[in-house]
Amino acid sequence: MVTLENYILGKWVTGDGDGQALYNAVSGDTIARATTKGLDFNAILTYAREKGNPALRKMSFHERGLLLKALALHLREHLDEFYKISYQTGATKADSWVDIEGGIGNLFSYASLRRKFPDTPYCLDGENHQLGKANTFMGHHLLIPKEGVAVHINAFNFPVWGMLEKIAVNILAGIPAVVKPATVTSYLTEAVVKQIAASRILPDGALQLICGSAGDMLEHVSSQDVITFTGSASTGLMLKSGKRVLEENVPFTMEADSLNCIVLGEDVIPGMPEWDIFIKEVRKEMTTKCGQKCTAIRRIFVPENKLEDVQIFLGKALAQTVIGNPLNEKVRMGSLAGEAQRKEVKEQVQKLLASSQIIYGSLDNVEVIDADAHKGAFMSPILLLNNHPLNSKEVHEVEAFGPVSTLMPYHSIDEAIVLAKMGKGSLVSTIVTADKKIAKQYVLGAGTYHGRILILNEPCAKESTGHGSPLPLLVHGGPGRAGGGEEMGGIRGVKHYMQRVAVQGSPDMITAVSNVYQPGATGNLDTVHPFKKYFEELVIGDQLITEKRLITSEDIDRFADLSGDHFYAHLTKTDFAGTMFEKQVAHGYFIMSMAAGLFVNSYEKNPVLLNYGIDELRFTKPVYPGAEIHIRFTCKEKISQEKKEPTDIDKGIVKWLVEMIDETSEIVGVATILTMVEKRVQ
C-alpha cells in the first residue's frame, strides 16, 4: 500500500504508522494511506520562517510574480498526469478542469498582478498625508511582508485549486506557505507538489505540504503568521478559537460553506432567454463537482406563480444528466469524494426533510453507467420543495454538501431579499433578471449578507463565469456564516499577508524609505537632462527646474481654436460676473501641454522611447493671462519591465511628478506622467 509523503524541511518524508486509508471514489478501491504521525510541526513552521521567508522577502513583487508565472508554465506540462489522478476523486473532465487548470489560472492571474506593484519587496498603501503647514512633516502607509508563514487548511473538494489559489497570493506578498489539504483527496495535491518541488522554481522553504492530520501545528503559530481555512463553519470556529491563535492574535481568514441562493426575477417568464439561463445555471451548480462546492446553489427562490413551471423545467433538465464513471465521455456527473461524504449528505437531507419534500431524485437509488452505484460514492441529484420558507429554519441552516438544492416561492422582491438574508451570510448569490430596477433593488438589499452577487441576464450570459466561479481579482468570501474572511481579491488579497505600518517623518525620509519621491522632498538637480539618462542611470529624486513661460491671451485663443474647446471661461468676450473666474482663464490642458514643452528635451534622440500616459492630473488654481509658469519635474518612481520576446528593447517605466508653478510660487497644476525608458545595452 502506497503511503503519501509529506514535503517538509526541504525533503519528502513519510509519517509513522498506517494512518488514514484513501479510496478511489468511483470504484471504492483503497489507493493510498496518509499519516503525519511523528512530524515535528514546530520545526516545520520554523523552517518556513527562517528559510523560506527571508528568501521571498528579499525579492521584489516583480520577481515573485515571475516565480508564479514560471510555476504555472511548468505545471501545464503535466496536465495529463493530474487529470488521470483527478478522476479517482470522482471528478469528470469538466470538474477537473475547474480544479486543475482553474488553479493554474490563478497563478497566471497573480503573476500578471505584479505589474500593479512597484519593483520592490514592499509598497506604499494609499495617499500621502501632509501633517505640517510648511510641508516638512508628513505621513504615509507602508506595506511590508510579514515575517511568518501562511498556514493553509483546505477543503477536500478542490485539492489543486484550493492550494494554488492561496499560495499564489501569499507568494506574491512575500511569505512562504505550509499547505494542509483535506486528507481524503490529498493524493492529488501531493502529485502537484511533487512537480512543484522537482521544478526547483520556488526557494527552499517557500512551500511545504502536510498530507494527513494537522496535529498540533496551530499550537506553534505566532503573531507574524496567517491562517487561512476553507471548510465547514463548525470546524473553522473550533480552529479559530484555539488558545495559541487567540493569545498571539494570529490573523485567521475563514471561507466557510454557506447556503448560497439564486433568485429568479419577477419579470422572467418561460420563453425569455433569462428563463433558460436560470434553469441551466441551477442544473450546472447542482451537478458540477457533484454539488461539492462551497459556492454551489443550495436555495432556489422563484416567484410563487412560477413555482410549478420551474419545478417541471428543472426536473427535465436534471433528468438529462448522465451519472457514472467520469472516464466515460457520456458522463456529466461523477461521484462524491467518498463514502463518508455520501453518508453525511444523506444525513443532512434527512434533516431538511423535516420541512421539505423531495420532488426530484432519490436517496436510495441512482442510475449510473460504466460503474457500480454501490461501490462508488454515487448519488442522485436531489431537488427539494419547501412551500413555507419564511417559517422553516432547516432550509436556511442545514447544508447538504452534494447535489442537493431546495426550491422555494416568494411573493415580492422584498420578500426574496429577506429569504436570501436568512442564510445568515453567504459566499455568493445570483439574481436572474432583465429588469435593471429589480437588479439594483436586490443587490442593495441583499448585499450586506453576501460576499459576491452575480446579476445574470442575456447580454452577459455567454461571457459570464457563472454563479459558482470565484475569480482571482475579486474578493472570495462572505460575512456571517460564510466566515467573515476574504480570499484572493487581487491587490486586496495580497495585503492580508503584509503588515501595514504608518511611517511619519520629513518628505526626504519618507522618500528614502519608500523609494518613491514624495512632494516637498529635496530634488537631485543635475546638469544632465533627465531624458538623456538611461533607465538604470536615473535616480529617484532626479529633478529639473525649467525656465518660465509667460501665458498670454493670444496663447489661450490659439489653443481654443486648435483644440475646439471654446468653453465660455476661455473666451475674452465672456461676462465673468457671477462666475468662479475674474477674467479669461487658460485651459488646464493648455497648461499641461505647455508644461511638456518646457520639460521635454525635444531636439535630440534620447533613451525615452515614448510617453506612456498621465495619472492623477489636477488643476489647482486658475491661470490668467500675464501669469508666468515654470515646471518642477522630478523622477518619482521606476518600474523595470521584463522582455516578452528576446528581440524586445530592454526598458522600464518611469513615473515623473510634474508640478506646474506660477510666479507666486503656488502650484497651479500637478500630474504624474509615465514614460517608457530604454535601458543601456550591456
Q: What is the mean pLDDT of residues 370-392?
A: 95
3-state helix, strand, coil in the chain (%, to 5): 35, 25, 40
- Contact indicator for 435, 265 with CB cutoff of 8 Å: yes
| 135 located within any domain | no
**Radius of gyration, alpha carbons of the chain:** 30
Residues taking part in catalysis? 255, 294
Strands 177-180 and 628-640: unpaired
Overall pTM > 0.95: no
| 325 and 204 housed in the same domain | no
Give the rounded distance of the alpha carbon of 70 from its chain centre: 19
| 122 — pLDDT class (breaks 50, 70, 90) | very high
pLDDT of amino acid 201: 97
| 276 and 201 housed in the same domain | no
Cα-Cα end-to-end distance for the chain = 56
Using CA atoms, how far residue 344 sits from 205, 219, 379, 576, in Å, is 37, 29, 12, 77
| 201 located within any domain | yes
Q: What is the mean pLDDT of the chain?
A: 94
Position 477 pLDDT exceeds 80: yes
pLDDT of amino acid 154: 93
**Residue 221: exposure state from Cβ atoms within 10 A (0-12, 13-18, ≥19):** buried
**Residue 163: exposure state from Cβ atoms within 10 A (0-12, 13-18, ≥19):** buried
Domain assignment of residue 303, given as a range: 261-469
Position 602 pLDDT exceeds 80: no
pLDDT of amino acid 584: 94
Domain count, the chain: 3
Residue with cell 528614502: 512
| 171 and 110 housed in the same domain | yes
- Contact indicator for 434, 409 with CB cutoff of 8 Å: no
| 232 and 278 housed in the same domain | no
| 241 and 266 housed in the same domain | no
| 246 and 307 housed in the same domain | no
Position 470 pLDDT exceeds 90: no
pLDDT digits (tens, 9 = 90+) for 531-587: 999 999 999 999 999 999 999 999 999 999 999 999 999 999 999 999 999 999 999
Residue with cell 442593495: 444
| 156 — pLDDT class (breaks 50, 70, 90) | confident
Q: Which helix (H) or strand (E) holds 85?
A: helix 79-86
pLDDT of amino acid 489: 83
| 615 located within any domain | yes
Question: Last residue of some domain: 460, 480, 499?
Answer: 499
Other Cβ atoms within 10 Å of 453 Cβ, number: 20
Q: What is the mean pLDDT of residues 96-108?
A: 94
| 572 and 606 housed in the same domain | yes
Nearest residue to 377 via CA among 265, 292, 449, 443 = 292
In a 3-state reduction of DSSP, which class is residue 339?
helix
Position 140 pLDDT exceeds 70: yes
Tally of helices (H runs) and strands (E runs) in the chain? 19, 28
| 133 located within any domain | no
Rounded to 5 degrees, φ, ψ at 379 are -155, 140
Cell numbers describing residue 338 = 467518498
User: Rounded CA gap, 368 and 36, in Å?
Assistant: 36
| 106 located within any domain | yes
User: Rounded CA gap, 240 and 201, in Å?
Assistant: 33
pLDDT digits (tens, 9 = 90+) for 435-444: 999 999 999 9
| 181 and 227 housed in the same domain | yes
| 480 located within any domain | no
Position 681 pLDDT exceeds 80: no
User: Rounded CA gap, 594 and 592, in Å?
Assistant: 5
User: Rounded CA gap, 337 and 156, in Å?
Assistant: 8
| 239 and 340 housed in the same domain | no
Other Cβ atoms within 10 Å of 328 Cβ, number: 15
Rounded to 5 degrees, φ, ψ at 367 are -90, 125
- The CATH number that applies at residue 328 is 3.40.309.10
Position 646 pLDDT exceeds 90: no
Rounded to 5 degrees, φ, ψ at 336 are -70, 170
| 645 — pLDDT class (breaks 50, 70, 90) | confident
pLDDT digits (tens, 9 = 90+) for 200-237: 999 999 999 999 999 999 999 999 999 999 988 889 88
pLDDT of amino acid 175: 97
Other Cβ atoms within 10 Å of 84 Cβ, number: 12
Per residue, the 3-state secondary structure of 233-246, as one string, reads HHHHHHHHCCHHHH
pLDDT of amino acid 682: 63
Nearest residue to 337 via CA among 402, 258, 422 = 402
User: Rounded CA gap, 291 and 295, in Å?
Assistant: 9
**Residue 354: exposure state from Cβ atoms within 10 A (0-12, 13-18, ≥19):** exposed
| 601 — pLDDT class (breaks 50, 70, 90) | confident
Using CA atoms, how far residue 429 sits from 470, 503, 521, 544, in Å, is 12, 40, 49, 54
- The CATH number that applies at residue 623 is 3.10.129.10
pLDDT of amino acid 232: 85
Quote the DSSP letter at residue 394: G
| 26 and 104 housed in the same domain | yes
Q: What is the mean pLDDT of residues 504-525?
A: 94
Position 277 pLDDT exceeds 90: yes
